[in-house]
Amino acid sequence: MKNCILFITICAIAFGIASLATAQTYFEDNFDDAKASEDKWVPLFGEWEFADDQYHQLQNSVNCMSVVADEFWDDTWSEYTYEVRGSKVSGAEGFLIMFRCQGLMQPRGQALEDHPPRMENLKPSLEYWWNLGGWGNTRSQVESWGGKAGANSNHTIKDKDWYHIKIVNTPDSYTVILDDEEVAQVDDDTEGGVGRIGLATWATVAKYDDVIVYGPDGPSLPVDAKSKLATTWAHLKATR
């Protein structure tokens, strides 16, 4: 009996190790180390600041954007899940969650900073963002320049509340999920689904936390202080 239990335990451990070996965390930032985070992000417009283990956008202007740096993104990634938490501090609208972005972003009347060099040189220029609480915080929709928009909904964003935002991107579709509820799936095979992620705001001050991007095999699992596996940075923070 003891040998049987030992065998089962060994098999379970081996399976766990194999699962971890195939996990695919492409990018993550929980903003606990501001210096490390500075290397991961390239602000294009706005007043971006790492504070309180979060990423804050402090300027109440339109088209404030920050994208992942070249060194932390592979331009061939076309199948990934992007998760982030967001909280609106003040302003007229909600969040802009960028994905499938390459080339030059739309300036919309703003003088944008230099883009990541490799990103800037990619053609054609593509830009998607999930506009949560847009149009004066009356509704939400994925907007796209160069691709296919969709996912219209009546979601609005409350001040101070935290929202769990998730985008599942594939070569031929994207699915948007808010607080674990699927909002919509949109069929869209533009450029095979490639393009990096970013964070943005429009006439809003907001803060973001717990960014993670992972492949179809799921994320790598960090270990919390109690030696239990945590599936997201948000869970890890909550347990310490």
Domain for residue 4, yes or no?
no
Domain for residue 73, yes or no?
yes
| Structural domain count, the chain | 1
Domain for residue 65, yes or no?
yes
Domain for residue 10, yes or no?
no
Q: How confident is the model at residue 5 (pLDDT cuts 50, 70, 90)?
A: low
Looking up residue 94, the CATH number of its domain turns out to be 2.60.120.560
What pLDDT digit, counting tens, does each position of 191-225 carry?
999 999 999 999 999 999 999 999 999 987 543 33
What pLDDT digit, counting tens, does each position of 229-238 carry?
344 444 445 4
The pLDDT value recorded for residue 22 is 55
Q: Which domain holds residue 126?
A: 25-238
Domain for residue 9, yes or no?
no
Domain for residue 59, yes or no?
yes
Domain for residue 16, yes or no?
no
pTM of the model: 0.83
Looking up tokens 């963002």 gives 129
Domain for residue 232, yes or no?
yes
